[in-house]
Chain A
Amino acid sequence: DAMVIQNPRYQVTQFGKPVTLSCSQTLNHNVMYWYQQKSSQAPKLLFHYYDKDFNNEADTPDNFQSRRPNTSFCFLDIRSPGLGDAAMYLCATSARRANTEAFFGQGTRLTVV
Chain B
Amino acid sequence: GESVGLHLPTLSVQEGDNSIINCAYSNSASDYFIWYKQESGKGPQFIIDIRSNMDKRQGQRVTVLLNKTVKHLSLQIAATQPGDSAVYFCAENEGGADGLTFGKGTHLIIQP
Contact = CB atoms under 8 A, between A and B. Distances in A.
B102 A42 contact: yes
A112 B103 CA distance: 26
Given A101-B34, A105-B43, A33 B99 contact: yes
B68 interface: no
A99 B34 CA distance: 9
B95 A98 contact: yes
Interface in B51-109: 51, 89, 93, 95-105
Contacts of B98: 31, 48, 50, 55, 97-98
Given A31-B98, A98-B32, A101-B34, A42 B43 contact: no
A98 B93 contact: yes
Nearest to A103: B46
A111 to B, nearest CB: 13
A104 B43 contact: yes
Given A31-B98, A48-B98, A101-B46, A42 B93 contact: no
Nearest to A47: B99
A48 B101 CA distance: 13
B45 interface: yes
A76 to B, nearest CB: 14
A106 B43 contact: yes
Contacts of B96: 98
A43 interface: yes
Nearest to B90: A42
Contacts of A41: 104-105
A52 interface: no
Interface of A: 4, 6, 31, 33, 40-45, 48, 50, 55, 90, 92, 97-107, 109
8 contacts: A6-B43, A40-B105, A98-B93, A98-B96, A99-B31, A101-B34, A106-B42, A106-B43
Closest 5 CB pairs of A and B: A104-B43, A42-B102, A99-B32, A45-B99, A97-B98
